[in-house]
A and B are shown apart, each in its own frame.
With several copies, the nearest count.
Chain A
Amino acid sequence: MTYSKWGSTMIDVSREKLVEMYRKMLEIRYFEEKVFELYGQNLVPGTIHLYAGQEAVAVGVCSALRKEDYITSTHRGHGHCIAKGADLKRVMAEILGRKTGYCKGKGGSMHIADFSIGMLGATAVVGAGLPIATGAALSVKLQKTSQVVACFFGDGASNQGTFHESLNMAAIWKLPILFVCENNLYAMGTSQSRVMLIENIADRAAAYGMVGTTIDGNDVLAVYQTAREAVERARKGEGPTLIECKTYRHKGHSRMDPAKYRPKEEVEEWLKKDPIKRFQDRLFEMNVLTEDEKGEIERAVIAEVEEAVKFALESPYPSPEEALEDVYA
């Protein structure tokens, strides 16, 4: 059994929900643009991996989840946090290494977590989140709650051994989990076609007797609809789903990567498929959004992001000795 491709057939979503999804996507976009800017000003220690361009995936999936559902994330995790409902202020503070950040400055951009909203954290070891997410799904099953887990990872991660081991375990134990592969076509400078022969990573699901589907990851409604169905199946005890979302990162892999390994035409083509622009046009078309409302939302989001920056920049760094805390419980 595999899903068919919906394209963007209209589905039963309330106006409020649609606007909320739109707003979340904007939050991520503006947030990431701000992080990029701060990075340029030398205010962000270490490295960054921006989520801009992939917003439809995080928002589409997280919109299908409840607050108590779990997600796991990656080095490219800001979007996942925000989509799951994290506080921009504390995300930004963490990225800037401040004491008020979600992890008190210990984690940074690549290791944000917010357990209060079911965000089980990001790992920077590519592929390492898959078994952990699978374990959370087992936990849910053993505790007989009706939670589900969404595990985000990249195309590159799908070549790790943990992908294989985790999907197999989730399948045999019929765990309530969505394996969400964000196929942005590259792992650093390595295009998918150089490291796997198959075109659709979702086809790997068959190796585990799992349901798999490949969708347009820049169409937030397609993502939402697919995730909703997978969540439903998961909650009913029908097991895991591998959802491959084809998408694209707007920037380079990290920091100052100019991403010269991507053909210019390819980049241009994908920029045209900008998920926010597409969703916005759709919302206009559907009369869900007016230009005025759009402007209002944008202003609110920009203000929120600015507030986050202000909060972060005004927050103190942790004091050195705090490094010794939290090693053990």
Chain B
Amino acid sequence: MRRISYRDALREALREEMLRDERVFLLGEDIGRYWGGAFKVTKGLAEEFGEERVRDTPISESAIIGVAIGAAITGMRPVAEIMFGDLTALAMDQIANQAAKLRYMFGGQISVPLVIRTPFGGGVNIAAHHSQSLEAWFMHVPGLHVAAPSTPYDAKGLLKTAIRSENPVVFCEHKLLYPVEGEVPEEDYMIPFGTATIRREGTDITIVATLYMVHKALNAAKTLEKEEGINVEVVDPRTLVPLDKKTIIESVKKTGRVVVVSEDCKTAGVTAEISAIIAEEAIDYLDAPIKRVAAMDTPIPFSPPLENFVIPDENRIIRAVKEIV
């Protein structure tokens, strides 16, 4: 099968959905012809679809989301880009209090078919205001769906599902994934939300990992296999809300051990929720504590040695596995 990058996979999803449904339009800062998006995901789309449908905005994150909501509840299907995930903080009221709640508050009269695309994650040395992973904030807000694709295939399939969904979706991308290549079929496909995938089968221990950490977990698994003979299963939830608890729990039941890995800060983060679910629903199958590997509880520092220390790497994953196997 042909291989394309995560970035190109996202762009294909946007393009195909725009061709399929003229209600779909994009808005965000510098997503148009003059820049093509800070990470070039939307490059070329303004040229193809025009500036009305690929709409550059002022630097006004609150209004970007608010405007997208207003469009979504009146018949359009906006895909808003927030240039960096950290900046969702500026639009938090519109995301968490408006987009997530309008349908409910209004007794189901309308839906809010809105996608908010935004890149999270560190690793490119752009410090505390451009490197966070904030998925957990959105997981905590009922009414939102949260997607977190780790491969080009998933990026495309999940983004299509997100755009066709009637619910507001926070679509979490990762800066380091944009250039990553993988197999993506030519034909149309969608990936249903709430379906995890097993990236690697194993019998000794389960690693649940998300976004860029999936790749680090797979590397760690290889090393563990080779050097320690530990046979690791890697589960990638793909969407955090809805979360495919079943696949996670079945894997844990099989292996009896689990490490949960995510790039966001440890406290009250993605790993907390997944751990808590396992502790609530599968504790009897566990032969060891539930380990969490996450970013240290610090802002993301600028200097490479500091940033590398804070963000989980293969070694931390390996150490965590070895502590409980």
Q: CB distance B298 to A327 under 8 Å?
A: yes
A96 to chain B: closest residue by CB:
B303
Q: Which A residues are in CB contact (< 8 Å) with B66? A: 128, 130-132, 134-135, 162, 165-166
Indicate whether B270 reaches chain A with its CB closer than 8 angstroms.
no
8 Å CB contact of B60 from A97, A135, A168: A168
Indicate whether B195 reaches chain A with its CB closer than 8 angstroms.
no
B24 to chain A, nearest CB (A): 11
Q: List the one stretch of B4-12, B124-132, B178-186, B218-226 in contact with chain A.
A: B124-132
Beta-carbon contacts under 8 Å, B86-137 to A: 86-87, 89-90, 93-94, 97-98, 102-111, 113, 124-130
Q: CB distance B71 to A111 under 8 Å?
A: no
Q: A47-B126, A106-B301, A324-B296 are in contact. Are A329 and B166 (CB under 8 A)?
A: yes
Indicate whether A220 reaches chain B with its CB closer than 8 angstroms.
no
Q: List the one stretch of B146-154, B229-237, B304-312 in contact with chain A.
A: B304-312
Indicate whether A138 reaches chain B with its CB closer than 8 angstroms.
yes
* Cα–Cα, bound, A115→B72 (Å): 13
Q: CB distance A139 to B76 under 8 Å?
A: yes
Q: CB distance B110 to A46 under 8 Å?
A: no
Interface majority SS (helix, strand, loop, mixed), chain B:
loop
Q: CB distance B60 to A323 under 8 Å?
A: no
* Cα–Cα, bound, A128→B66 (Å): 8
* Cα–Cα, bound, A322→B310 (Å): 10
8 Å CB contact of B125 from A45, A72, A102, A172: A45
Indicate whether B302 reaches chain A with its CB closer than 8 angstroms.
yes
What is the 8 Å Cβ interface bit string for chain A, positions 154-170, against chain B (1 contact, 0 not)?
00110111101110110
Interface residues of B, count at CB 8 A: 75
Indicate whether B324 reaches chain A with its CB closer than 8 angstroms.
no
Q: CB distance A165 to B63 under 8 Å?
A: yes
Q: CB distance B127 to A320 under 8 Å?
A: no
Q: Which B residues are in CB contact (< 8 Å) with A131? A: 62-63, 65-67, 69-70, 94
Q: CB distance A190 to B56 under 8 Å?
A: yes
B301 to chain A: closest residue by CB:
A106
Q: List the one stretch of A119-127, A230-238, A289-297 in contact with chain B.
A: A119-127
Indicate whether A140 reaches chain B with its CB closer than 8 angstroms.
yes
Q: CB distance B63 to A136 under 8 Å?
A: no
Q: Which A residues are in CB contact (< 8 Å) with B308? A: 320
Q: Which A residues are in CB contact (< 8 Å) with B306? A: 97, 105-106, 318, 320, 322-323
* Cα–Cα, bound, A45→B307 (Å): 11
8 Å CB contact of A138 from B70, B126, B127, B129: B70
Indicate whether A113 reaches chain B with its CB closer than 8 angstroms.
yes
Interface residues of A, count at CB 8 A: 75
B269 to chain A, nearest CB (A): 16
Q: A108-B125, A172-B58, A188-B30 are in contact. Are A132 and B107 (CB under 8 A)?
A: no
A166 to chain B, nearest CB (A): 5
* Cα–Cα, bound, A325→B303 (Å): 14
Q: CB distance B69 to A105 under 8 Å?
A: no
What is the 8 Å Cβ interface bit string for chain B, positions 44-55, against chain A (1 contact, 0 not)?
000000001100
* Cα–Cα, bound, A187→B74 (Å): 30
Indicate whether B25 reaches chain A with its CB closer than 8 angstroms.
yes
Q: CB distance B302 to A107 under 8 Å?
A: yes
* Cα–Cα, bound, A257→B167 (Å): 36
- Of all A-B residue pairs in the complex, the 8 with the closest CB atoms, nearest first, are A135-B70, A131-B66, A108-B302, A105-B303, A97-B303, A189-B34, A329-B166, A103-B107
Given contacts A124-B126, A132-B94, A190-B58, 19 further A-B contacts (CB under 8 A): A102-B106, A103-B109, A105-B301, A106-B104, A106-B299, A107-B105, A114-B109, A124-B127, A125-B87, A125-B89, A131-B63, A132-B69, A136-B71, A136-B73, A138-B67, A138-B70, A161-B90, A169-B67, A323-B310
Could you list some 12 contacts between A and B, CB below 8 A?
A106-B127, A113-B105, A131-B62, A131-B69, A132-B98, A135-B68, A138-B71, A139-B76, A157-B59, A320-B309, A326-B103, A328-B103
